[in-house]
Amino acid sequence: MRSIGSTIVQWDVLRALERQPDASAHDLAQATFQSDQSLGVMMRNMERKGLVERRPVRGRRLEHRVTDAGAAVLEQGHRFAAEVLDASFGALDAGERQQLLALLRRIGAD
């Protein structure tokens, strides 16, 4: 991720914004396993880098938007993740990947 000027944590925040565009900062912090304070620092840094825009909506609530530069990092991160997944699980056929997913879901449910 460093080669594209980002980090896994920033990419994860961009992914969370992609999935939940109207999420509060607190919701984004929870979705990315960060404290509210650390997410605030991360968002300010990402805003300085031009990856997101933030603006007040009401009270202390901020609206977050992925910029074009952020969308480019998001897309490159998706490609990077796909390469890592392929390197990790590419030897498995579709049925084996489905079986692995079912097993992981089963132990995750316990």
CATH number of the domain at 87, please: 1.10.10.10
Please list, in sequence order, all residues whose beta carbon lies within 8 angstroms of the beta carbon of residue 10, skipping any fewer than 6 positions away: 1, 42, 45, 46, 51, 73
Instruction: Say how far apart CA 97 and CA 79 lie, in whole Å.
Output: 19
Q: Tell me how many domains the chain contains.
A: 1
Shortest CA distance to 11 belongs to which of 62, 61, 54, 74? 74
Mean pLDDT of 17-38: 92
* pTM given for the model: 0.80
DSSP codes, 47-95: HHTTSEEEEEEETTEEEEEE-HHHHHHHHHHHHHHHHHHHHHHTTS-HH
Cα angle 93, 16, 28 (rounded to 5 degrees) comes to: 140
Where in the sequence is the domain holding 44, given as residue range(s)?
2-109
Q: How confident is the model at residue 21 (pLDDT cuts 50, 70, 90)?
A: confident
pLDDT at 4 exceeding the cut of 90: no
pLDDT digits (tens, 9 = 90+) for 50-109: 999 988 877 777 888 999 999 999 999 999 999 999 999 999 999 999 999 999 999 988
Adjacent-strand bridge partners of 53: 65
**In the chain, what's the furthest Cα-to-Cα distance?**
52
